[in-house]
Structures are given as C-alpha cells and as structure tokens.
Amino acid sequence: MTRMANWFSRLRFLLSVALIASASIPLPAFSQATGQTNLPLLFDPREQLSKPDLSSLVRLRFLTTDDFPPFNFADQNGKLAGFNVDLSREICEVLEIADKCQIQTMAFAELQSALSSSQGDAIIAGTAVTGALRAQFAFSRPYMMLPARFVRNVKVQLTGQVNGALKDKNVAVVRGTVHEAMLKQFFPDVKPVAFDSRDALLDALKAGKADVAFTDALQASFWLSSPASAKCCAFFDGAYYSQAYLGEGMTIMLRQNDQMLTTAIDYALASLSRSGRLQEIYLRYFPNGL
C-alpha cells in the first residue's frame, strides 16, 4: 500500500475540526461551527484535572507512523514532523518530562502489538476508537475532530451564505459514505446526487457538472489548496460535526493499566487548551482552517 493510499485508508476513520480537552461537555448529535480559522474549543473551565506525579516515570514513548501527513510524516530532510508530533512534544513539556520523552515510528499495523508488549507507552497516529479497542486499551480525551463541509463551485450563484441557500439544489456526495447518510438526514431539502468515488465527485465539481458537494473537510481542504482544483471551488457554510456519523474523534491510545499516564495526558491536553497552544499547533498545519 502506498503512503497516500495508506493515508486515505486511515483518514476514513478520523473524525471532526474542534480540539477538545474535556469530555465533560458531550458533543451534540449534530452541530455547526462557522469559524474558518479559529479552532472551536469545547472545554468546561469548571472541571479541575489534577496533575499526576510522574517523578518515578522512566520514560514516555509515543508510537506513531511517518506516512500520515499532516499529522505525522517524514519531512524532506527525513525528520519526523506533523501535528501529532508537535502535540506529543507539547504534552511532555506540560508534564515536565521533556527529557524523558521519545517518539518512535513504525508501520501502522504494528502499533497495537507494540503497545501491548510495552515497546511503547502511547499511540498517537489517528487510530479510530471502536468498541473492540476500548475493551483492550484506554484512550485519552479527544483532541481533534474532523468535520463534514459543503464545497461549492465558485461560478455557481447561491442566495445566501448558509445551507438554506441549498434548498432544492443538487448536492454531490460519495455513494455509501457517512457523508451521504448525514446529508440525507440533516438536509432533507437538498437533492443528493451520488458519485462512486471522491475523485469522481471532485472532478464533477471542478467541471461544473456538480454545483455543490458535501464531503470530508480535511481531504477537501488539501484539494482546494492544490493545483488540482485550479481554484475552481471554495468551502460554503460552516463545519458540521456528528458523533453518531463521524465518531468520537482523534485520541491517544494507551494500555488499560496505565491509568496514571492516561490521567496525565488528559491533564496536559486540558492545559494546552487553556493556554491556546492547541490552537497554535492547529494553525501551524491548517492555516486556512477546516
């Protein structure tokens, strides 16, 4: 499997754009955020998380891959970089264990067995949270979510800047995806037009054969900023989240018996949220927002 094929394969399991450092405010079944570059934060400031004593910790080994840009990848100099890499380092800074912090790369398929056999202490690589994995591992609070978004051909005339302007309009969507299900449930006034693949959908949008599409915001953002789009299109309306359709979000996976470390990482995520450092890392890799 090629690096990009692997990227898109795992990206299907990733989930919506809001960094959160607390799960005490549950995500609604369906919500919208209109900010384009500011990262929506869902955090209850009343919640107090204690900082665990990690003085006895020998080291903290994060496990990741180098083929999942922009989250974790090898740059042109072969150096490990990415959103998850920077976040790992910031977590270690907050916990005051930077000198004990390590980041190791391996194939995605090897991550779980490496964690189980104590070859590492935490996986930060875009692993989807499932019921089966929850039975075997612990997970941090979600730290990032990936939304669904409308993308329009800029030549199309729409009355208004919100989804109400799409009433009775044909909206392209990839057949059999969660985005098709979301579109049908939450936007009953539009007319879904199904395409067999994301590439076919984007080609139709660029050629003007489709006026508007509803799709994954992360993939769409890279396409919109690439030469492939030829500046044909732009995001329309805000970002949409649905835990029911898009899942729980991106988390850090740990061993079930490492409760102290799980608590420590949750504390670090909360601290980074309060300080604004999560927003800074987000803008570093998503300067135009999602």
SS3 assignment for 160-186:
CCCHHHHCCCEEEEECCCHHHHHHHHH
pLDDT in tens, 1-51: 333 334 444 443 333 333 333 333 334 444 454 445 556 555 566 778 888
**Nearest 5°: CA angle at 283, between 285 and 124?**
55
Q: Specify which residues 170 forms β-bridges with.
A: 191
pLDDT for position 21: 32
Phi-psi region at 203: left, alpha or beta (left = phi > 0; alpha = psi -120 to 50): alpha
pLDDT at 45: 67
- CA 153 to CA 211: how far, in whole Å? 6
Cα–Cα distance for residue pair 85/141, rounded to 1 Å: 17
The two tokens of residue 178 are 């969660």
Range(s) within the chain of domains with CATH label 3.40.190.10: 3-145+249-285, 148-245
- Superfamily for 148-245? Periplasmic binding protein-like II (3.40.190.10)
Q: What is the pLDDT of residue 16?
A: 34
Strand blocks (E) in the chain? 31-33, 60-64, 67-68, 72-74, 80-81, 101-105, 122-123, 137-139, 148-153, 170-174, 191-195, 212-216, 233-241, 253-255
Please give the CATH superfamily to which domain 3-145+249-285 belongs.
Answer: Periplasmic binding protein-like II (3.40.190.10)
Helix (H, G, I), strand (E, B) or coil at 269: helix
CA 116 to chain centre: 24
pLDDT of amino acid 43 = 59
Q: What is the DSSP annotation of 24-54?
A: SSPPPSSEEE--SSSPPB---TT--------
Tens of pLDDT along the chain (290 residues)?
333 334 444 443 333 333 333 333 334 444 454 445 556 555 566 778 888 899 999 999 999 999 999 999 999 999 999 999 999 999 999 999 999 999 999 999 999 999 999 999 999 998 888 889 999 999 999 888 889 999 999 999 888 878 889 988 899 999 999 999 999 999 999 999 999 999 999 999 999 999 999 999 988 988 998 999 999 999 999 889 888 898 888 899 999 999 999 999 999 998 998 888 998 998 898 877 77
Give the angle subtended at the CA of 222 by the CAs of 35 and 9, to the nearest 5°. Answer: 110
